Chain A
């Protein structure tokens, strides 16, 4: 975990992050003081606390969440814009129709989030510049060829959709004070899950070097079904087998396996986890 990278990423969506953290130098100093006193394993908690201090008291917490979501929707929309514009990438017929439908939804989400942020008195963040090779702007990252190799495109699409579900889920609690915004976010969240289900279905019907096993529409344990270790952080944590302290495996005498238990519940990721995951895609 590189704190500098994380703060740099947040700065892209929230230019005022240093102000919130009492300035970059002070933030670093605070963190240095903190990190000298705590065990390495507690670092994520310490980081969370630091950001909670920066964001938790903000009256703009809802627009912050919406701007975070907007950044992810920009990412998805542009990914599908580029994919659909790449001649010969997406086969005509059912596949192309499906991705046009998904692209339409992502475009609508961008518009909806921008409108909602403005309505709440906030300012929508600008669209970042993206590098879908996951090369941080080098355009020669590990996913080079994502817009010429359909199997790679599908793998990245599935990962983006599954990750989008996790991102929205992780923010629901931050929206609990606004019925309207929470409900809208939930309604976007389930659309992303529908997309993920379909892209996984496409991949289940199209074996390739990029497909591991046969993807189901749902996520089994922390299996990505993608032949790249780079996407593993996007799936880590999905293997959770207990919920609210209740062991789901074999619950109440039913023959619920670990696979079943993990599939039955999708797991959230925090904003910080998501920003670290999408970092390579943002120039």
Chain B
């Protein structure tokens, strides 16, 4: 069944943290009063967060309410927030894929898609922690254009996200000032490229690095933040202000 609900991406608050931020009584108030949100919670369950220790209700933390507008900021922080936005998109997508596997999914495909979800969560949370209080908030996502019950729809979207991710990191490297951040981006982008090749092979075996990914000089995809965010805007409802990002 196509998911017609705008997915609110919950944030990385552990159960322990959640209960330290929200008293038991307030928690009960949330549980009793926000019936609409409870529907959301029950439809997303644990897998959206990719972890058994995560609270089903963490997204009810008012600090994690999706933002209408975020400003990525400038300098290296802006570039890291740009990456954080993309990892939010990827992680939430794979969480939904694992939550509602498409019909006829093979064991191998399920294993790969679960691994990829874990990697994207790790990327997202890593960037969030590195950014600290400079991190943009939770993005409001919209996967209504994706048919999660269809193998073709899910794998095509996954492939597109991974190829875009590779192109985004390849284009963002030169925007970073810090060699340390550049190295962390490098550690992530090759894993995204492994994902991209894997998904391409699942769709059409042997297409891991065909001419739609690698040009005649043997170079992979590259895109500017403007190009990437235009593509991602199909799935991101939060307005992302990126005009303070470095351009070279």
Interface residues of A (CB under 8 A from B): 94, 97-98, 101-102, 104-109, 111-112, 165, 168-169, 172-173, 176, 179, 182-184, 186-198, 201, 216-218, 243-244, 246, 248, 250-257, 260-261, 263-268
Nearest 7 Cβ contacts at the A-B interface: A253-B14, A108-B218, A255-B51, A252-B12, A197-B197, A193-B193, A173-B179
Residue in A97, A106, A194, A195 with the greatest tally of chain B CB atoms within 10 Å: A194
The answer on a CB contact under 8 Å between B190 and A101 is: no
The answer on a CB contact under 8 Å between A108 and B217 is: yes
Query: Number of residue pairs across A and B with beta carbons under 8 Å?
Result: 223
Are A194 and B209 also in contact (CB < 8 A) when A254-B49, A254-B53, A265-B191 are? yes
Are A266 and B54 also in contact (CB < 8 A) when A94-B206, A217-B112, A253-B15 are? no
Shortest CB distance B220–A (Å):
4
The answer on a CB contact under 8 Å between A198 and B208 is: yes
The answer on a CB contact under 8 Å between B201 and A253 is: no
The answer on a CB contact under 8 Å between B16 and A253 is: yes
A172 to B182: give the CA distance in the assembly, Å: 7
The answer on a CB contact under 8 Å between B214 and A194 is: yes
Q: Is B158's CB within 8 Å of the partner chain A? A: no
A217 to B13: give the CA distance in the assembly, Å: 30
Classify the interface of chain A: helix, strand, loop or mixed: helix
Shortest CB distance A81–B (Å):
15
Interface residues of B (CB under 8 A from A): 12-17, 49-55, 112, 115, 118-119, 121-123, 125-126, 128-130, 166, 169-171, 173-174, 176, 179-180, 182-184, 186-198, 201, 205-206, 208-210, 213-214, 216-222, 248
Shortest CB distance B48–A (Å):
11
The answer on a CB contact under 8 Å between B173 and A186 is: yes
Instruction: Name the contact of B54 in the complex, choosing from A105, A194, A255 (C-beta under 8 A).
Output: A255
Chain B's closest residue to A112 (CB) is: B217
Are A189 and B194 also in contact (CB < 8 A) when A251-B129, A264-B122 are? no
A195 to B196: give the CA distance in the assembly, Å: 11
Are A264 and B123 also in contact (CB < 8 A) when A101-B210, A173-B183, A191-B219 are? yes
Contacts of B196 on A, CB cut-off 8 Å?
A: 194, 197
A81 to B85: give the CA distance in the assembly, Å: 42
The answer on a CB contact under 8 Å between B126 and A260 is: no
Are A197 and B248 also in contact (CB < 8 A) when A183-B170, A183-B171, A243-B126 are? no
The answer on a CB contact under 8 Å between A194 and B182 is: no
Contacts of A106 on B, CB cut-off 8 Å?
A: 218
Chain A's closest residue to B49 (CB) is: A254
Are A253 and B51 also in contact (CB < 8 A) when A112-B219, A173-B183, A248-B126 are? yes
A173 to B176: give the CA distance in the assembly, Å: 10
Chain A's closest residue to B180 (CB) is: A244
Contacts of A195 on B, CB cut-off 8 Å?
A: 197, 208-209
Shortest CB distance B141–A (Å):
18
Chain A's closest residue to B211 (CB) is: A101
Are A190 and B220 also in contact (CB < 8 A) when A101-B209, A254-B50 are? yes
17 A-B residue pairs with Cβ-Cβ distance under 8 Å, sorted by A, are A108-B217, A109-B218, A182-B174, A183-B170, A190-B220, A191-B219, A194-B193, A197-B201, A197-B208, A201-B198, A217-B197, A254-B122, A256-B125, A263-B118, A263-B119, A265-B191, A267-B187
Contacts of B194 on A, CB cut-off 8 Å?
A: 193-194, 196-197, 217-218, 266
Instruction: Name the contact of A253 in the complex, choosing from B54, B126, B169, B171 (C-beta under 8 A).
Output: B54
Shortest CB distance B219–A (Å):
4
Contacts A193-B191, A197-B194, A244-B130 aside, 14 further interface pairs with beta carbons under 8 A come to A108-B217, A111-B218, A186-B186, A188-B218, A190-B166, A190-B169, A193-B197, A194-B220, A197-B208, A201-B201, A254-B122, A255-B50, A264-B188, A268-B183
Instruction: Name the contact of B118 in the complex, choosing from A108, A253, A256 (C-beta under 8 A).
Output: A256
Contacts of A112 on B, CB cut-off 8 Å?
A: 217-219
A201 to B208: give the CA distance in the assembly, Å: 10
The answer on a CB contact under 8 Å between B126 and A251 is: yes
Contacts of B192 on A, CB cut-off 8 Å?
A: 190
Instruction: Name the contact of A255 in the complex, choosing from B53, B129, B222 (C-beta under 8 A).
Output: B53
Are A190 and B187 also in contact (CB < 8 A) when A197-B198, A253-B14, A254-B53 are? no
Shortest CB distance A122–B (Å):
18
Contacts of A169 on B, CB cut-off 8 Å?
A: 183, 186-187, 190
Contacts of B180 on A, CB cut-off 8 Å?
A: 244
Contacts of B126 on A, CB cut-off 8 Å?
A: 243-244, 246, 248, 251, 264
Instruction: Name the contact of B216 in the complex, choosing from A108, A182, A197 (C-beta under 8 A).
Output: A108
The answer on a CB contact under 8 Å between B219 and A187 is: yes
Chain B's closest residue to A171 (CB) is: B186
